[in-house]
Amino acid sequence: MAERVLPQHLGIIMDGNGRWARKRGLPRSAGHAAGAKVFKQIVLYCGGIGLKYLTVYAFSTENWKRPHDEVLSLIGLFKLYLRDALDHFLDRNIKVRFMGDTSVFDPQLQDLIEEIQNVSADRTGLVLNIALNYGGRAEIVRAVRMLAEEVRDGSLRPEQIDEASISRHLYTAGQPDPDLIIRPSGEQRVSNFMLWQSAYTEYLVMDVLWPDFTPKELERAFDLYAARDRRFGGI
């Protein structure tokens, strides 16, 4: 029997909550609540099958443009599910990290983020990166600024800056680049997600809205990924 091929690092753009709700005549907040439940299910499933790294796009820097009530609803959901994560994810040896500028959130949410990262720091199973107030361009700008400060301080020469030095200053420093990024909902955009890290990532767009995404859909994605020939620019 052939050995199962899994990505080492999986990224998911959790998309389609609003459309899922609209199709059912429900408020967008109901779609986000349904999507949050799927998030928990997929994280636990990934941890159970031995996936090493999972990065989920929860809230982008552009999402602040949404209606105020929707943003407040999303932040309330983050608090609810992060508290839940303290019980369910950590018991399953999942290490939780956050990507993005979380300093903009209220103190209660910031405290939850810090607590989860601290409590899970020594976990050795799945590494779960949650992208909150994250944008790929902003991440690269942040890395460049950090490098500029090192040059200014004399600890780095400009000619020493290379791809590896930029990678070391990203939120995913020390992690492999994503092998596969899945976008449910059928939308064919990268949406400012992991722009630097995804140079050779396989993308898979799936015609299923995120609240309808199941472990079965994930396994179908893994099968499609395993059938691809990754050449990384070679022949």
Whole-number Å distance between alpha carbons of 202 and 135? 19
Does the residue 29 lie in any domain?
yes
Dihedral of the alpha carbons of 149, 151, 153, 154, in degrees to the nearest 10 = 170
Q: If the chain, 235 residues long, is cut into consecutive pieces of 10 residues, what is the mean pLDDT of each piece?
A: 81 94 93 92 96 96 89 86 79 93 94 93 95 97 98 96 97 98 93 97 96 97 89 60
Does the residue 179 lie in any domain?
yes
For 78-123, the pLDDT digits (tens) are: 888 888 877 777 788 999 999 999 999 999 999 999 999 999 999 9
pLDDT at 21: 94
Give the residue from 178, 199, 197 showing the smallest Cα distance to 53. 178
Whole-number Å distance between alpha carbons of 142 and 195? 13
pLDDT at 77: 84
106, 71 Cβ separation under 8 angstroms:
no
pLDDT at 234: 59
Whole-number Å distance between alpha carbons of 127 and 105? 23
Give the residue from 149, 209, 197 showing the smallest Cα distance to 17. 209
List b or e across 26-51, with b for residues whose CB sees 16 or more CB atoms inside 10 angstroms. eebbbbbbbbbebbeebbeebbeeeb
Range of the domain at 32: 9-136+171-226
Active site residues: 15, 63
Does the residue 152 lie in any domain?
no
Number of domains the chain is built from: 1
The CATH number that applies at residue 211 is 3.40.1180.10
The DSSP line for 86-131 is: HHHHHHTT-EEEEES-GGGS-HHHHHHHHHHHHHHTT--S-EEEEE
Does the residue 164 lie in any domain?
no
Does the residue 146 lie in any domain?
no
Does the residue 157 lie in any domain?
no
Does the residue 178 lie in any domain?
yes
Does the residue 156 lie in any domain?
no
Q: Is the pTM of this model over 0.85?
A: yes
